[in-house]
Amino acid sequence: MKTLFVTVTIILALLISSCGKSSSSHQGHGDSTAASQTADYYTCPMHPQVKSDKPGVCPICHMDLVKASNSRQMETSSDEPMVPLNDRDQVLANVATVIAEYESIEHTVRAFGTLEIPEPNKTIISARFNGRIERLYVNSVGAKVKKGQPLFDVYSPDIIQAENEYRQAITSSSPTKNNFVAIAKSKLLLLGLTEEQISNLESQDVVPLVLTYHSPASGIIIDKKIVEGIYVNEGTSLYDVSDISTLWNIAEVYENDAAHLRTGERATLSTATYPDKKFNATISLIYPVVNSQTRTVKVRLTVNNSNGQLKPNMYTETLFQRKQGKALTVPVSAVLITGKRNLVYVKAEHENHFEAREIGIGTRFNGKYEVTWGLMEGEEVVSEGGYLIDSESQLKTGGGSGHQHGGSSATETPKEKPSEQHNH
């Protein structure tokens, strides 16, 4: 009996000792786990998946690793990423904020172009007869001519024959005289004679051997292709005359900017020749084709050049300005374009906290974006230092939770996006 009691006592002592060690072991393991969860580590701001238990450099981008803590990651497990940043860190990160507000959108587009002579203002003077040029009255390129001004004298058997036919028709006693006269006169007009020259034939006793040819248009002699004494055939080009009192400015506008322009809108031009002078122009045509190489669209503007200051082939800088009403806006620097999403950091109600917010953006103008949804007037948005706050957010979430730079995750419930922005 005594032996049995001793045996039971020994067994109980062993059991108690075993439980104590097990409890101690569990407690030690728990302390080790807690320590590992709160222990500091080092990671890359640009590649949060890189982690190390000691200082070093990122094997991907070779940036210095920065110190982080698992306990910080545990603080940011909410659905809306909130980034705490004290006053000192905000100063170091050069964080600046602006108030989202409504303002008038004035879309400004700058484009380079070239001045050209309008197609309707070009006239090619060609020979309507076979003959010899006896004398030139306009003998230089660049000379100004007016409609009806003498250009040259020509000897042409074709013209002499037509003039004789007309004289015979007007002196005829045939019942069909009027028909013959009309036909003969039409032929002379087609050969380039004026009404006055044809009328003079009726009072002349002899048909003149030389005819003075008059300019059919006003403008500048752009090209002269004849000299005195040269023989010309019917169809030979003699002069190129162009009216430059109105010019076309052909501007090359990027395709995304061309969508904001409308025919009939006004623009201003400047040139290197007259850097301090602005010339008014009106959009007359937006070409329906995009240049496959430059991704630009030609925009044609009509420019008044009655004083002759502008010259064809001058280079120009064109400024288009178009007002598009009012919209909620934020600076371009405030928007972080991360893959398929556009993010801004909004100052939260909690002191020194910033919230990542997805927004929709529309027109870009004068260094700002139009906000179409996701933000309200009066909210305070980070305009400078957003990328540093974004990096801090990535460090705290370990690159896992929080916003996804490649787009929404499969399990994320997207915010409702309004169909249109309320305009004031």
- C-alpha–C-alpha distance, residues 302 and 245, integer Å: 11
Per CATH, 78-106+326-397 and 108-118+244-323 having the same topology is answered no
pLDDT for position 4: 46
Least Cα distance to 415 among 375, 368, 369 occurs for 375
Yes or no: is domain 108-118+244-323 CATH 3.30.1540.10?
no
Band the pLDDT of 115: cuts 50, 70, 90.
very high
Domain boundaries, the chain: 19-75, 78-106+326-397, 108-118+244-323, 123-242
pLDDT for position 353: 77
Backbone angles phi, psi at 285, to 5 degrees: -160, 135
Instruction: List the CATH code of the domain at 123-242.
Output: 2.40.50.100
pLDDT for position 132: 97
Indicate the DSSP class of residue 30: H
pLDDT for position 388: 61
pLDDT for position 28: 44
pLDDT digits (tens, 9 = 90+) for 380-396: 888 876 556 666 555 55
pLDDT digits (tens, 9 = 90+) for 195-213: 999 999 988 888 999 999 9
Indicate yes or no: pTM above 0.85.
Answer: no
Band the pLDDT of 60: cuts 50, 70, 90.
confident
Instruction: List the CATH code of the domain at 78-106+326-397.
Output: 2.40.420.20
pLDDT for position 396: 55
Q: Supply the Cα-derived Rg of the chain in whole angstroms.
A: 43
The count of other CB atoms within 10 Å of the CB of residue 18 is 10
Task: Answer yes or no: is pLDDT of 264 > 90.
Answer: yes
- Per-residue tokens: 382: 């980070």
The chain-wide mean pLDDT, for the chain, equals 80
